[in-house]
Amino acid sequence: MNTADVERMLLESLGDEGRFFAAVDVLVGHLLSGVPGYSARPTDGVLLEHFRLSGRGGVATGVVILIEGQTVEPLRVKFVVNDSGALDQGWVHFGDTARDIVRYGTREHRKLSNEIIAYPDRNYSWKETFCRDDEGWHRLDGPRGGT
């Protein structure tokens, strides 16, 4: 699946929660697969704890489950749709450099999920940040605060 297919999947999923979760998982996996240290299929699903969607874009915060080690990392996805219905801008923030490894299904995982529910706009020391602009998706260097 190429980037255009992933973006189309994301746009077509607006209004359908289940399809949106799957589309975010595919997008995050697609972006991370191009980063050294991550496999070609790094994710095993997303659990979005908070999201707001409209025909003009959306924001979602939750956790992504990584296949390797069944660990979870915080995730924030934001995007804007232009007048022609295409993806105009987007941001994907992944992981927290200040957090110890959190395994799926543990007390720490529940604590992270509860934190995201209580504070969906909290900024983390993001491990990876990807930005989508007129030139497509690109990875920003180094740990980032949030957009």
Look at residue 142 and tell me whether its pLDDT is greater than 70: no
Alpha-carbon distance of 125 to 104, in angstroms, equals 20
In this structure, are strands 136-140 and 128-133 parallel, antiparallel, or unpaired? antiparallel
- Contact assessment for residue 29 and residue 38, using Cβ atoms and an 8 Å cutoff: no
- Residues 63 and 43: their CA atoms lie apart, in Å, by 11
* Cα distance between residue 43 and residue 37, in whole Å: 13
Residue 62 — pLDDT band, cuts 50, 70, 90?
Answer: very high
How far CA 96 is from CA of 4, 23, 26, 115, 128, in Å, comes to 28, 22, 20, 13, 9
Provide the terminal-to-terminal Cα distance of the chain, rounded to the nearest Å. 27
- The band of 55, judged by pLDDT with boundaries at 50, 70 and 90, is confident
Contact indicator for 108, 99 with CB cutoff of 8 Å: no
Q: In the chain, where are the structural domains located?
A: 3-140
- Give pLDDT, residue 115: 95
- The tens digit of pLDDT for each residue in 80-98 reads 999 998 999 999 999 999 9
**pLDDT at residue 39 above 60?**
yes
What is residue 143's predicted lDDT score, i.e. its pLDDT? Answer: 53
pLDDT at 146 over 70: no
Mean pLDDT of 125-135: 95
Rounded CA-CA distance 58/52 in Å is 5
| DSSP 8-class letter at 97 | T
Residue 44, phi then psi, degrees to nearest 5 = -125, 25
**Average pLDDT in the 34-55 region?**
90
The per-residue pLDDT for 15 is 79
Residue written as token pair 């975010």: 24
